[in-house]
Amino acid sequence: MSEHCTASLLDTQGLMCPEPVMLLHNAVRDLAAGELLQVLASDPSTQRDIPRFCAFLGHELVEQGEEAGVYRYLIRKTSA
Residue 3's alpha-carbon distances to 13, 52, 73, in angstroms, are 19, 24, 12
Rounded to whole angstroms, how far apart are CA atoms 48 and 53? Answer: 9
Domains and CATH numbers, the chain: 19-68 (3.30.110.40)
Report the predicted TM-score, pTM, of the whole model to 2 decimal places: 0.90
Closest CA to 71 of 48, 34, 36, 46: 46
Q: What is the pLDDT of residue 48?
A: 97
Give the helix ranges, DSSP H, for 1-80: 19-29, 46-57
- The CB density around residue 79, as the number of other CB atoms within 10 Å, is 7
Catalytic residues: 17
Mean pLDDT by runs of 10 across the 80 residues of the chain is: 71 97 97 97 98 97 97 92
For residue 10, the cross-strand partners are 39
